[in-house]
Amino acid sequence: MIVLGIDPGTATTGYSLLEANGRGLIPLEFDLIETKKSFTHAERLSMIYDHVREIIRSGEPDVMAIEKVFFAANAKTAIAVGQAQGVMFLAAADFKLPIVEYAPGTIKKVVSGNGRSDKKQMQQALRSIFGASIRSQAKKKTHFDNAADALAVAYCHVKMTYHAP
């Protein structure tokens, strides 16, 4: 089974493809979809939609696991990220790909054992799960946190659904 993990955003969206099989967990890919600041919001959404469709087409995942949008302080950001999440849902629907959402605290609890882990603790937990080389596997070094978060979302889905290693 292949899980497409998504950490949604409008400027930077993290994504990962994680394979769970009888031999364990294999991170096939994790990277970023980065939109240009000069783009309008609609152009950014279109770019995200196109990229997610291509990731689904080429990676052939069995499910999309996505982090739920949660912003208490900034409604404008929450709306924009929610719109980005909407085009990701549309891309998944184009391929009849099932979608599962996870709250940030759930992802943190499953990956690190602590629902309030910070970025550094989450990355340490991911390195202990997948090996110290995961940062070097990321294609782009900027905003690595987003790609790592997407890998955490995919891992959370596997653990919550299949209780894999």
Annotated binding site for Mg(2+): 7, 67
Instruction: Please answer whether residues 13 and 55 qualify as being in contact, where contact means their C-beta atoms are separated by less than 8 angstroms.
Output: no
| CA dist list (Å): 3 to 17, 39, 120, 141 | 6, 30, 23, 23
Secondary structure (3-state) at 7: strand
Secondary structure (3-state) at 51: helix
Indicate if 149 belongs to the active site: no
Phi, psi of 106 (to 5 degrees): -65, -45
Q: Which of 7, 19, 34, 149 is catalytic?
A: 7
Q: Which of 19, 31, 34, 67 is catalytic?
A: 67
Residues forming the annotated binding site? Answer: 7, 67
Among the residues of 21-162, which ranges form H helices? Answer: 41-59, 75-94, 104-112, 119-130, 134-137, 144-162
Of 66, 57, 53, whose CA–CA distance to 15 is shortest? 66
Indicate if 7 belongs to the active site: yes
- Catalytic residue numbers read 7, 67
